[in-house]
Amino acid sequence: MSFSQEYQQLPTVDKDAGEQESLQRKDPRKRRFPLLVIAIVIIMCASLPCARMIMSRRFWAACHVPQRNTSTLAKLPSHYTLPSGDKIPSVALGVWQASKGEVGNAVKTALTAGYRHIDGAWIYRNEEEVGQVLKASSVPREELWLTSKLWNNFHAPEDIETALDQSLSMLGTNYLDLYLIHWPVAFKKEGNNIMDEDLTADPYPTWQKLEELVDKGKIRNIGISNFNIRRIQNLTANKLKYQPAVNQVELNFWNPQPELLKWSKENGLLLEAYSPLGSNKQVGKSLSVPEVKDIACKLGITPAQVIISWSVQRGTIVLPKSVTPSRIVENLEVFEIPQEDFEMLEKAAASHPPQRVVNPSTGWKLPFDVFDGQ
């Protein structure tokens, strides 16, 4: 290949360059020019909003790589298959802490955006509003995945079906896709006093009742929530008719629980990640993790999408909560993170002492730590 004349004639080293440069240095007008420009920018910025922008941490932290066309990124599994054969969507709208008056709109936005999985619970006290939106929606019931949870006050055998019926009625459906024991703790009917230590330690009686409700057709799948390995083993040491379909636990950058994840995979138990962004208490901190920001920048996606994608790529269901329409839409889009970045994030998450957002043991005045021994 031959270059044009101009290219060929360009010298690699200009022997006059040094001389030219020294001549320029000697010209005081040229020396003052850059100073003048800087002075003008400073004066302009002092009186303009750009000063605030340049001074803000966000400006310096911002990703300067252009937004990528995400259609070029590989997608992650949209569903997992449970032991029953049912397919559960990998990303759900979590409605814990979505208050009355805003949860309905969140669910409406989510259904329009394509969510088909809503993760709720009786104790969230918003099932009625969720149900109103579901009833008004044109999405057929069989396309939806609805999860609810048995609250701690309803473990007495005679209360379990009544509690489920309440959730069914509020949600406006005659079956749940998934019903979980919310905590491995049984309270008395009123208040937060534990019913008796045996029942708290042994959820088998409750499990048997849930199995009956599966056979009655009121629940399709049953599972557990906030169970550590020891508690799962206590339960599964019994002769169960149905194995737990999932264990819903706190999983996020600050509490990644790699041992529980590994054990669950080895034992065929799917995990569901609640508070994946660190809940409202830690979401800001989660989205500012340097590794998360770097990956977001590299892939041209948002930090929240990096964390939610990481959760699915770890092989868990993920339940991000939001009542903000743009975030609800954003959170459903998960993408495969390149293996080296995935591993970097996994390592970063495991490289600090685990820190939970949710541990009600003290608040409930339990005589033990509910996660003890995990």
Q: Which residues sit at the interface with ligand A2P, rule CB under 6 A?
A: 94, 275-280, 283, 287, 304, 320-324, 327, 330-331
Shortest approach of ligand A2P to residue 230 CB, angstroms? 26
Shortest approach of ligand A2P to residue 31 CB, angstroms? 48
Q: Which is nearer to ligand A2P, 79 or 327 (CB)?
A: 327
Shortest approach of ligand A2P to residue 350 CB, angstroms? 18
Measure the CA–CA gap between 181 and 151, rounded to whole angstroms: 7
Measure the CA–CA gap between 229 and 298, rounded to whole angstroms: 37
Measure the CA–CA gap between 38 and 272, rounded to whole angstroms: 54
Amino acid code (one letter) for 348: A
Q: Which is nearer to ligand A2P, 154 or 310 (CB)?
A: 310
Q: Which is nearer to ligand A2P, 102 or 211 (CB)?
A: 102
Structural contact between residues 146 and 177, judged by C-beta atoms closer than 8 angstroms = yes
Q: Which is nearer to ligand A2P, 106 or 245 (CB)?
A: 106
Q: Which is nearer to ligand A2P, 119 or 177 (CB)?
A: 119
The residue to which tokens 């997608």 are assigned: 75
Phi, psi angles (nearest 5°) of residue 73: -90, 145
Q: Which is nearer to ligand A2P, 235 or 292 (CB)?
A: 292
SS3 content of the chain, % helix, strand, coil (to 5): 50, 15, 40
CA separation (Å) from 275 to 110, 252, 266, 358?
18, 7, 24, 9
DSSP element (H, E) containing 67: none
Structural contact between residues 251 and 221, judged by C-beta atoms closer than 8 angstroms = no
Residue 306: HSE in the Cβ half-sphere, 13 Å Cα cutoff: 28
Structural contact between residues 126 and 95, judged by C-beta atoms closer than 8 angstroms = yes
* 124 is an active site residue: yes
Nearest partner of 171 among 197, 147, 142, 207, judged by Cα: 147
Shortest approach of ligand A2P to residue 317 CB, angstroms? 13
Q: Which is nearer to ligand A2P, 83 or 325 (CB)?
A: 325
Shortest approach of ligand A2P to residue 286 CB, angstroms? 7
* Range list of H helices, the chain: 5-9, 17-26, 28-47, 49-55, 57-61, 103-113, 127-136, 157-171, 197-201, 204-215, 229-236, 258-266, 279-287, 290-299, 303-313, 325-331, 339-350
Query: Which one of the listed residues 80, 124, 179, 274 is annotated catalytic?
Result: 124
Sheet of 222-225, strand order = 93-94, 117-119, 145-150, 178-181, 222-225, 246-250, 270-274, 317-318
Instruction: Supply 213's token pair.
Output: 């409700």
Shortest approach of ligand A2P to residue 119 CB, angstroms? 10
List Cβ neighbours of 154 (8 Å cut-off, separation of 6 or more). Answer: 122, 160, 162, 163
Shortest approach of ligand A2P to residue 101 CB, angstroms? 13
Q: Which is nearer to ligand A2P, 307 or 370 (CB)?
A: 307
Catalytic residues: 124
